[in-house]
Amino acid sequence: MENEEIKIELYTKEKIPDVVAFEKQLREEEDVWGWEIDDAYIKSVTDSFKDPRFKNALSLLAYLGEQVVGRIDVVRIPSYFDGTVKAYLDWICVLKSARHKGVAQALMKEMRSRLKAEGIDTLIALTASNDEAQRFYKSVPDSSMHDIGIWIDIK
């Protein structure tokens, strides 16, 4: 993976096998993930590409060579509150073995470019609390920390 160019590509249904391989590699490198990569997961992801509820989802993949080494997922959020569309950063992750090589920054730069082209000017995120994630988020240009995040289970 050394000295290879980072390629950023749109996550499409055809790339599911690449993402499954990425997800499995994530789990081999770090044992912190809370869901299994099994047939149910693959079916759920596959089905999401034809589900109209996912029309506001946008995901990009970072490749080094032929391997996915990073991923970023956002959801566009239109709101009647102020008549704007913002985006929510749902997830950004890079294989541990590919970190500190500019992958996350490349993913963020391309995502911001795409959102800007759509007229979206704000990307909101909950940040992971670990030190490595905090360093990354603080390094993102034109960003600042606001508010406190809350997760509410719908039961």
- 146 pLDDT band, cuts 50/70/90, is low
Q: Read off the pLDDT of each residue in 101-129 and give the average, rounded to a whole number.
A: 89
Q: Please give the C-alpha separations between residue 50 and each of 18, 38, 42, 60, in angstroms, as whole numbers.
A: 19, 20, 14, 18
Q: Please give the C-alpha separations between residue 73 and each of 56, 110, 135, in angstroms, as whole numbers.
A: 11, 12, 19
- 29-74: pLDDT as tens digits: 987 777 789 999 999 999 999 999 999 999 999 999 999 999 999 9
Q: How many domains does one find in the chain?
A: 1
- 124 pLDDT band, cuts 50/70/90, is confident
Does the pLDDT at position 131 exceed 80? Answer: no
Q: Tokens 């990569």 belong to which residue?
A: 37
- Please indicate, yes or no, if residue 116 is contained in any of the structural domains: yes
Contact between 95 and 131 (Cβ < 8 Å): no
Among 54, 20, 13, 16, smallest CA distance to 36 is for 20
Task: For the chain, give the mean pLDDT.
Answer: 87
Per-residue model confidence (pLDDT) at position 140 = 67
Q: Tokens 């490198």 belong to which residue?
A: 29
- Please indicate, yes or no, if residue 1 is contained in any of the structural domains: no
- Please indicate, yes or no, if residue 152 is contained in any of the structural domains: no
- 145 pLDDT band, cuts 50/70/90, is low
- Please indicate, yes or no, if residue 3 is contained in any of the structural domains: no
Alpha-carbon distance of 46 to 78, in angstroms, equals 25
Q: The domain containing residue 96 runs over which residues?
A: 9-139
Q: Read off the pLDDT of each residue in 105-126 and give the average, rounded to a whole number.
A: 91
Q: Is 15 helix (H, G, I), strand (E, B) or coil?
A: helix
Cβ of 18: how many Cβ atoms within 10 Å?
17
- Please indicate, yes or no, if residue 40 is contained in any of the structural domains: yes
Per-residue model confidence (pLDDT) at position 76 = 97
* pTM recorded for the entire structure: 0.83
- Please indicate, yes or no, if residue 129 is contained in any of the structural domains: yes
Give the CATH number of the domain where residue 124 resides: 3.40.630.30
- Please indicate, yes or no, if residue 52 is contained in any of the structural domains: yes
- Please indicate, yes or no, if residue 2 is contained in any of the structural domains: no
